[in-house]
Structure 1
Amino acid sequence: MLSFALIAAILAIFPFAAAQPFDLQAALAGAQAGDTIVVPAGNYAGPLVIDTPVTLIGAPGERPVIDAGGQGRVITINAPDVTIRGFDIRGSGASLDREDSGITSLAARTTVEDNHLEDVLFGIYLQNAPDSIVRGNTVVGKPLEMGVRGDGLRLWYSAGSLVEGNRVHDSRDMIVWYSPDSVIRGNTVERSRYGLHFMVNENVLIEENILRDNSVGIYLMYGDGYTVRNNLLFNNRGQSGYGLGIKDVDNAVVEGNYFVANRVGIYNDHSPLAPGATTRTEDNLFAYNDIALWMLPLVEHNTIAGNVFQENGEQVALAGEGVLHNNSWSEAGRGNYWSDYAGYDANGDAVGDVPYVAQSLYEDLLAKNPELRLFQLSPATDAIDLAARAFPLFQPRPKMADEHPLMAPPALPTVPGLAPPPLAANLAVAAGMLLLAGLLLVLGTRRSWRNGI
């Protein structure tokens, strides 16, 4: 048998070669089109440039790190049909002029999937990269002031792309510009400026996203055929504070969304724009917003039906003086549910027998003097409206009328992955609590009167 001393001597003379660290740059340089490169755990220096159609995968369960050390882009993709999956990507530069990013693709059919990006100025940037997929990524922006952050995700001239199941927070915007026929589904955007900002697109589907605690939830600017469906827009209360803004957009469909606790649920600026175009807003929940619908007086050809307007500070507001014309507030005898409707249903068909009319002297004054919003929900507003009812001379013009108001909230579409909204059951409980509070107040007042107090 060999002694330990002899074994040690052999090892000293013929040492086993130490395992060589994986060289990611060399692997990319030597790759052929269609190769798959599996990257083991470790820290790898960027920037990386990918010029060959390859699949780059982090070894399962190992999450290798690619870090550019604060210089430029971490990964740049110049070839089509590239996949990046399963990495932690960090440390881009901080130049807005150079658009430093975690991942920038300049080629078609890119797939960016299941990556975690942080300390990056721009997160994922598809530039002239049509038919791409961005799925299941987390993007955390650099800890900078809002104005000098980059966009968490940007699609630029990247038609037919799918953006699905991503989480973006503490970024600037999530942008989809000049990228028609794209699908934006199941993403969560928080603590950013524009949760989703669209410009000049056609036939884009936006569904099942969560936009909360942003300055603006979703903003649609220019284009045709947007569908905004089954999204949650919650507590978007920046300077604009829109859950959804729509500007110069034709044939938009807004359905099954929950607009809750925003400064404004939907802001409509000249949509639709083209002759013969329409905007449909149906089966949505507007609850506890300062303003549910804020529309320019010249907005026409909107159909608004089947929605629940629950306890908003102002159900319908005008951005300026005037009255809304040529809009439909009901369809096929079905209007909307308004929590402040005071009408009746004598024939029991679940539709009010008198129209719901948005008519308030305080709100009329507010449209002319926005600084009066300071007094909203104060006794002064009730006093102004009471005076208007007592003295018809001061009666304001109605802003709109729903000829077929619903007596109870309709069932709204459910949204996968989102908590159910406060619909019929919850609204009934809330109404019951208000009724009980009113009853107690009346009884207390009578008792005080009887006791001579």
Structure 2
Amino acid sequence: MKRGRTLITGFLMILLAGSLAVQGRGLAAPQTVIVSPHGPYTSLSQALNAARAGDTIAVHGGVYAGPLVITKQITLLGYDWPRIEGNGRGTVVTLAAPGIVVKGFVIRNSGKSLDQENAGIAVEAPAAVIENNRLEETLFGIYLRKAHHSRIRHNVIQSKALPLPRRGDAIRVWYSQGVVIEGNVVEKGRDVVLWYSNNLTVRNNVVSEGRYGLHFMYCDDALIAGNRLLANSVGAFLMYSRRLHLRQNIITANRGSSGYGVGLKDMDDAVIAENLFLNNRVGAFVDNSPREITSTTRFQGNVFAFNDIGITMLPSVRRNHLTQNSFINNTEQVKI
């Protein structure tokens, strides 16, 4: 009897030890995986296969092959500007798990299919951080799809050298709530466009030589502040949205076929305040804004200077309040 109890106790101890070992592996501290041209890993695909969720992959200078699809919560850190090369095929990097961080890379040479929406970085999960990267020769630069609460910060984005209608959007945000776009430099993209996304912050970006510097469609509650929108066809177009606040932006030399510094179409409760509209074809254009009878549009403390037309309002526009704005040397100050 005593021998039987001893065997049972020993068996239980073995089971307990095995369980603790499994738990110990599951609770192991995050690790750093090193990638460089000289190892220990020489390819990003190998490193991603070896890494576990929560790990950091530190990538040193070199050229590494894309495309990559990341399906774990990984922090991907570049040192000395490692390059992820797409070789002209598809999307270069896809983030398909929540909480992925990508910092410090050159990401270049996506495919050029508009139908397939080839991108430098495509984000398909929430809470991504894309920071301090350079995107070169990409059709779409950074594309967020249902990537709520993601951050796009301090990137430089340059599009493919294609005719403007054939370029993709430098940044596209699609059905993604609570996104922050901050401190980026965008050159020669098509648009920075945000669709069906609410509670947005877009601040301190420089967008130049594109079609629409900033384009909002069906977005509610956004702060658009401190941006410089230069030499685009249109500086900012705000459409079918509510409570967008455009504050303290410099909007200049937007002189395409429409050439608006800012255009408002079917907007409710927009606030346009303390902006500089300089040398545009039209500083501000207002069409059916506000659209709801209980809403208003407010222009306050702006400077309209050296535009062909300071403000154009269509004759049907009502409930626009203009206070403390300065109109300086526009060819035509206000047109209705």
TM-score range, shorter chain: 0.7 to 0.9
User: Contact 1:22 / 1:40 at 8 angstroms: preserved in 2?
Assistant: no
1:34 and 2:86 equivalent? no
Give the structure 2 partner of residue 207 of structure 1: 225
Give the structure 2 partner of residue 236 of structure 1: 254
Matches of 1:71 and 1:52, distance apart in 2: 23
Q: CA deviation at 1:19?
A: 5.5
TM-score (norm 2): 0.88
Give the structure 2 partner of residue 258 of structure 1: 276
1:186 and 2:204 equivalent? yes
Q: Which has the higher contact order (CA 8 A, sep 6+)?
A: 2
Matches of 1:19 and 1:273, distance apart in 2: 61
Give the structure 2 partner of residue 145 of structure 1: 163
Percent of counterpart pairs with the same letter?
47
Give the structure 1 partner of residue 68 of structure 2: 48
List aligned pairs for 1:26-175, cutoff 5 A.
Answer: 26-59=46-79, 62-175=80-193
Unaligned runs of 5+ in 2: 1-37
List aligned pairs for 1:316-327, cutoff 5 A.
Answer: 316-318=334-336
Q: CA deviation at 1:154?
A: 0.5
Matches of 1:288 and 1:216, distance apart in 2: 16
Unaligned runs of 5+ in 1: 1-17, 319-453
Bigger proportion of residues as strand: 2
1:197 and 2:215 equivalent? yes
- SS of equivalent to 1:25: helix
Matches of 2:71 and 2:325, distance apart in 1: 51
Matches of 1:289 and 1:270, distance apart in 2: 22
Give the structure 2 partner of residue 409 of structure 1: none
TM-score (norm 1): 0.65
Note the aligned Cα RMSD (angstroms).
0.9
For residues 104-136 of structure 1, give each alpha carbon's deviation from its aligned partner in whole angstroms, at most 9, with x where no partner exists.
000000110000001000000011101000000
Q: CA deviation at 1:32?
A: 1.2
Q: CA deviation at 1:21?
A: 5.3
User: Contact 2:225 / 2:246 at 8 angstroms: preserved in 1?
Assistant: yes
For residues 382-436 of structure 1, give each alpha carbon's deviation from its aligned partner in whole angstroms, at most 9, with x where no partner exists.
xxxxxxxxxxxxxxxxxxxxxxxxxxxxxxxxxxxxxxxxxxxxxxxxxxxxxxx
Give the structure 1 partner of residue 332 of structure 2: 314
- SS of equivalent to 1:92: coil
Q: CA deviation at 1:20?
A: 5.2
When Rg is computed on C-alpha atoms for both structures, the one with the higher figure is: 1
User: Contact 1:292 / 1:314 at 8 angstroms: preserved in 2?
Assistant: yes
Matches of 2:234 and 2:228, distance apart in 1: 12
2:277 alignment partner AA: F
1:304 and 2:322 equivalent? yes
For residues 200-243 of structure 1, give each alpha carbon's deviation from its aligned partner in whole angstroms, at most 9, with x where no partner exists.
01111100000010000000001110000000000000001000
1:24 and 2:47 equivalent? no
Matches of 1:212 and 1:39, distance apart in 2: 35
Q: CA deviation at 1:31?
A: 1.6
User: Contact 2:43 / 2:65 at 8 angstroms: preserved in 1?
Assistant: no
Match of 2:301 among 283, 288, 293: 283
User: Contact 1:157 / 1:177 at 8 angstroms: preserved in 2?
Assistant: yes
Matches of 1:189 and 1:303, distance apart in 2: 28
Give the structure 2 partner of residue 271 of structure 1: 289
Matches of 1:31 and 1:125, distance apart in 2: 25
1:188 alignment partner AA: V
Bigger proportion of residues as helix: 1
Between the two proteins, the alignment pairs up a number of residues equal to 299
User: Contact 1:289 / 1:313 at 8 angstroms: preserved in 2?
Assistant: yes
